[in-house]
Amino acid sequence: MTTLSGPIPQFGKPQTLAFADPFAAMAQLQRYADDLKYVMHEKESALKQIEKAHLHSLTVLARAAEYRDDDTGVHMDRVGGFSGLLAKLIGRSDEEAKMLSLVAPMHDIGKIAIPDSVLKKPGEYTLAERAIMNNHAVIGAEIIGESDIPLFAMAAQVALTHHENWDGSGYPFGIAGTQIAWCGRVVAIIDFFDALTMHRVYRKAFSDERALEMMKIQRGRKFDPEMLDVFIEHLDEFVRMREQINSSSKNR
């Protein structure tokens, strides 16, 4: 046992004072560590619950926006599934692909603020109407908000950049190439393809072949050329996934 020796004034002679038992001290430290782990676990659990609730709320809002433009809402499901698949095919991690599959359906969440007179207009937009419609990208990012949580940071990036074009001709900022977030470039391809091949109130669906012809014209203009090549190369996988998602939606 470690000791200290020295004069104790009130007694006028040397005394020996013992430090606490080191084994008892170690046990106490372990209890402190266990308590800290418990507190951190509870905090982590609470944060995950908040994150889950936030994701659910945003998904519901995105679905409400989508129902205004597509009365089945299945476009959201396909965009989520397709985006996750393309993310994997271009070499992103499983975690990134999973996150994108969750947030890609929020790409048009900003449309909740666009009036029906613009959103559902069958003909061409006036310049004023086009400005209103294009603003849905900024509105969507604002609805999702800034966040340090990777899931919501990606969701905001997707909402903000999925209408930017590879050649810089897109909106809202006119950025180009790899300045555009990779997740926004993925969703740009997926959203375009699925929108073309689905029925809308103002036109019938294009065939897959016609849609691909239209997309190839935009290679290196609207779309990341390498990503588009991967999408086209694996089209059969996306078609199979579309059939599965459409079938599941009918059984809801």
Active site members: 111
List, in sequence order, every residue forming a beta bridge with 223; answer none if it has no partner.
Answer: 219
Gap between the Cα atoms of 104 and 56, Å rounded: 14
Q: Is 168 left (phi over 0), alpha (psi -120 to 50) or beta?
A: left
Query: Which among 191, 234, 243 is positioned nearest to 91, based on CA atoms?
Result: 234
Three-state secondary-structure class, residue 16: strand
For the chain, how many residues are written? 252
Residues 106 and 162: beta-carbon distance below 8 Å:
no
Q: What letters, b where the CB count within 10 A reaches 16 and e where it falls short, cover 199-219? A: eeeeeeebebeebbeebeebb
Q: In angstroms, how far apart are the furthest CA atoms of the chain? A: 104
